[in-house]
Chains A and B, each alone.
Chain A
Amino acid sequence: MSPLRVTKSRDEFEGEIYESTVVVEGRDLAAPRDGAAGDEVGRPRPRVDGRARVTGAAVYTHDLHLAGMLHAAILRSPYARARVKRVDASKAEALPGVRGVLHRFNAPEVEFRQEKALFRDEVRFLGDEVAAVVADSEGLARYALTLIAVEYEVLPHVVDLEEAASPRAPKIDPDGNVHDAGSYTRGDTRRALREAEATIDVTYRTSTQMHNALETHGAVASWDGERLTVWESTQSVFGVRNMLKDALGLAPAQVRVLCEHMGGGFGAKLGTYKYAVIASLFSMRLGRPVRCVLTRREENLAAGNRSATLQRLRLASSGDRITAIEHETWSNSGQGRWAANPTGPTNTLYDVANVSSVAHRVTTNAGALSAFRAPGYVEGTFALESAIDELALRIGVDPLALRRRHARSRTDPRTGNRYSLKRLLDCYTIGAKEIGWSERRAGGTRGSAPHRRRGLGMASQIWGGGGGPPAYATVHFETDGTAVLRVGVQDIGTGTRTAVAQVCADEIGLRLDQVRVRLGDTEAPYGPGSGGSVTLASIGPAVRLAAHDARAKVLRAAAGILEVRAQELRLERGMVVSEGARTPLGDVMKKLDNSTLIGTGLRHPNPDGLALKTFGAHFARVEVDLRTGEIFVEKIVAVHDVGRIVNPLAAASQVQGGIVQALGFALTEERIVDRGLGRVMNANLEWYEIPTAMDVPEIVVRFVGAPDRRANNLGAKGLGEPPIIPAAAAVANAVANATGARVRHAPMTRARVLAALSMAGIA
């Protein structure tokens, strides 16, 4: 075994490259060859926790009911910006059943996101935390909130992106509302634009999208006098633990975070929030478990969103080459301190010599953004891929042909590193055939009625998803020969639990039902948060190594019991197979009594000097009603190049789901904020319109499927985010093809389509 060593690893997370120091032990395994399916990996498998899900037995954070549990509720600011001058909680405190009230004048100092206080003296968005009550029931706690008298000094606010970026806006941050959020240059775009044969200069907008995971954010905290146990609906049990230990001044070993099942996150549960601190503080004070779960309205005020953006793109071309892209963006980060940079695809997707991008983050008096499934890339791809089509139309080139010409590079233009694998051209070929691209006509075709036009459009996807260390797995055997796999990750609905069980079963030689997965618990060695599409590519290779180690040990043990040489044995679907004999592994393990065999595995660093990316393309066929402006998406073909597919069944679900969410972003989803009041007017599931079963088109899912053998020992990359990235642009391009009108604002509501038709002189 090679010795332990300390090394560097470079990993991409949500569009940024991070370098970290990691400890590596042992040797990695080679990745399987193309077409090398196991008994489990590469085959469609229903989820291993399916039964718990369909019977209601799966316990989510919302469902926990602990003995003696109290309920906390949060009082939120009714103003977009105000100073909290006085809080009188005496009436609430006097109410029988109320066990405590926290607000800025009595709460302990808590360090949370670089601020020293849990409750701000100046509340900065409508929904900001002002006070919290803990009581015997949730209803009582919410009633008690109404008894708290708060004196506010209302301050000038601004909630709108473009208003906040104007010089006349109230300054919310001392140094102004507009901040740098990254820039990038290669070549000389100014010169290329000057010398171009054709240019376009277009502005796009995207509205604020809200996650609306069905399980709202929430936590249950229980302090036993020495240790804090927190159940949280989270995408990162370790992220929650790290935040809580820092906020509460506890040691890592004093905080355990658990998440067995969780009801959706889409990025918003990758971050950490004050409700968990509030539940913990009350529990530590009262010695009883405390539950703090947000309402739907709170979820839509204070639990994150995808920033609205304003984006200006200038493209230049000469002959059939795109010679320059300039991209400047402004993102409404609300009270967030970072921006999801929309220029990632611009900087990396195409082989264009001159690129320049500048991103700005704009502070407003609205709830902070949080990561939302491919943050920045969804917004940026809508603009970039719309602009590519606009340029193609200007120069009279088929938009797919134009993309093909600029998608051949084998090298990541930003780093100069070669791609570990890039099959984008294959995505184009497969998708074009499936949608019938050859039948696409400039100007679209007749629809199903005289007032309806039909069109085709497409768009490309680039994203990371290579994952990386650290991530660990252990496998040990029960006395009946079944295996227990422990990983420090969580399954946020993507099917992680099933995928790692498949990897483990194949590597050991067990049936899928002989592997039990334990996850969502910080008592396991570290596993990454489920964000950036990194989960499987990070933990999967560690699982494979742990299972490999476990198999070697169990075969050596079996050799001792069966009195043969280990080399003569193998494990096949739970049977120890030697020449002429098949013995159930359970029979062998019985003879070992309580001796336990433990295999361990870790994630090795990513290869030096290679760029790990995922690629894809979506093709859309739409009909547009020229009278009403309604867009009918008839068919989406999605082709993704994400390496090896571990579970084709769950992978297809992932793509379908990403497309449905993308269609919400493209067509209907839009946070509406009253500028005067700073109030979100559709903080509910009635007026904020997420797609229903009636809104889903025919979706065709295809994978290139070739393992990325250089990426990691599984050959798999991430799939969580890729499918939400290109669909909106594909639809916008299909609408433009159908009607001749370009809608430059997502969501492409009927009003916006009608306005674009009217601008184009069509309606």
Chain B
Amino acid sequence: MASQREPAAVDVSLRLNGRDVTLRVPAHRSLLDTLRDTLGLTGTKKVCNEGDCGACTVLVDGRPVYSCLTLAVACAGKHVETIEGLARDGDLHPVQQAFIDHDAYQCGFCTPGQVMSLVGLLRENASPSEDEVRRAVSGNLCRCGAYTNIVAAGLAAAKAKR
């Protein structure tokens, strides 16, 4: 019974926000719980824990994923980037700055996930159309309804990066 609840912990080596780390985590632990509970990186939010809302979006090897549906062990050898790793020497990423400038949030709880989705988009596509920006965050729910400003921020960030 106990083994069902806590499967054997395994060592996982990955890159986290640019640093190599080795973690000892139970094989069934999600990347989300690993980030929040094991590593204390609580910028990534848990909202539905079943892949419906996008609040837990992080980048794995540059691509946005729902960390609640991703096992930590599946990230071995990969690069995981979270909201905490975006700013460089205190300078905000253009997407972060654009969110502030465009008031692209209200309560802010979906913001880390929205930002990561857009950072992922801009890595792949430096000049997205409005429709592409909208689609990039279509898996990120915002209950406050800040979508118009989120899309505006995504477009502004793309412009700022160029």
Contacts and interface: CB of A to CB of B under 8 A. Distances in A.
Interface of A: 46-47, 50-51, 53-60, 62-63, 65, 139-140, 143, 211-216, 261-264, 266, 295-296, 492-495, 649-650, 652-654, 656-661, 684-686, 690-694, 696, 699
Contact of A55 (B50, B83, B142, B151): B83
Given A214-B47, A214-B143, A653-B106, A699 B148 contact: yes
Given A46-B100, A215-B47, A261 B108 contact: yes
A54 B103 CA distance: 11
Contacts of B162: none
Interface in B47-69: 47-50, 52-53, 55
Nearest to B55: A214
A738 to B, nearest CB: 24
Given A65-B42, A656-B148, A685-B141, A494 B106 contact: yes
Contacts of B146: 653, 656-657
A215 B45 contact: yes
A680 to B, nearest CB: 15
B124 interface: no
A702 B140 CA distance: 27
B45 A54 contact: no
B48 A139 contact: no
12 contacts: A47-B100, A54-B105, A57-B43, A60-B42, A62-B46, A262-B107, A495-B106, A652-B103, A653-B146, A684-B48, A684-B52, A691-B147
Interface string B76-89: 00000011101100
B19 to A, nearest CB: 16
B41 interface: yes
B161 to A, nearest CB: 16
Contacts of B47: 214-216, 296, 685
Contacts of A59: 42
Given A46-B103, A656-B146, A690-B141, 17 more contacts: A54-B100, A56-B82, A212-B143, A213-B107, A213-B143, A214-B53, A214-B110, A215-B45, A261-B108, A263-B107, A264-B106, A494-B106, A659-B145, A692-B138, A692-B139, A694-B138, A699-B148
B90 to A, nearest CB: 10
Nearest to A686: B52
A753 to B, nearest CB: 23
Given A264-B143, A693-B151, A54 B115 contact: yes
Nearest to A691: B145
B84 A51 contact: no
Contacts of A140: 5
A692 B100 contact: no
A652 B148 CA distance: 10
B148 A55 contact: no
Contact of A650 (B103, B112, B141, B142): B103
B48 A58 contact: no
Interface in B107-126: 107-112, 115
Contact of B111 (A53, A65, A492, A657): A53
Contacts of A295: 49
Contact of B105 (A53, A661, A690): A53
A693 B137 contact: yes
Contact of A54 (B40, B52, B99): B99
Contacts of A696: 145, 147-148
A215 B141 contact: no
Contact of A56 (B5, B83, B149): B83
